Amino acid sequence: MSLKALIFDVDGTLATTESDGHLRAFNEAFKLLNLGWHWDNATYSELLHISGGKERIAHFIEHFQPSGQDLGGEIDIAKIHQLKTDIFVGYVAQGCVSIRTGVARLVDEAIECGLRLAIATTTSMQNVEAILAGGGLSSKFELIAAGDVVQNKKPAGDIYQFVLDEMGLSANECIVFEDSAVGFASASSVGLKTVVTLSEYTKSTVFEGALVVVDHLGEKGEPFEVISGNPSPHFFVNVEYLKELHEQHC
């Protein structure tokens, strides 16, 4: 089958959201609520193995036994997460979060070539809409599957299966873009093939079975580096290169 659609993760893949966005927002929310919590880079790196902000907070409470208020109820976690989301959206509006190298170029080229575009993420719809608006990508995606649209979040494959079902596509008609082991496992579990663009927290991760692992999607004046996969004559990820990868592996 021919390549018909590209599916993008958001955090760390479509945009650089983590250390200057989500992590800062979590810590600011904790401070405003006088919780006495602070996530450093090492803690946050470990927590990134848990998908979803509310789930991340719950995991932190259960496994790190933080000092501060005696929390644990879902309502409290939801309130913390909503405050964090409001702060994060403010950061996006201030320009603290940027679209990753090559993403806007590839999105426009894909549309010109008739490829369908979707998003599959566990971040909230509010976050996604803010990121897309800030990057000039609003209305570029046919489907945005975000937040709690499915019960089981990544690494479960539910979010990707939801996208396939909603768009009426099979796995071998799509290519996914991910940056994390959790996201890669989610896509792989429903038979999707993935281009991995390493991010700040996943540079040392091994992605066995990816179509290719690159540092970013590249631009004409800023070529990508192939970290894992067959060498390529291409200097940036474009539709032609994706069709070649699809023909070889899908």
List the catalytic residues: 9, 11
Query: Exposed e or buried b for every residue in 54-86, given b needs 16+ CB within 10 A?
Result: bebbbebbeeeebeeeebeeeeebeebbebbbe
Angle, helices 74-93 vs 24-32, to 10°: value is 120
In angstroms, rounded to a whole number, what is the distance separating the alpha carbons of residues 4 and 25?
A: 36
Q: Which pair of structure tokens corresponds to residue 97?
A: 């979060």
Contact 180, 201 (CB under 8 A): yes
In angstroms, rounded to a whole number, what is the distance separating the alpha carbons of residues 29 and 126?
A: 17
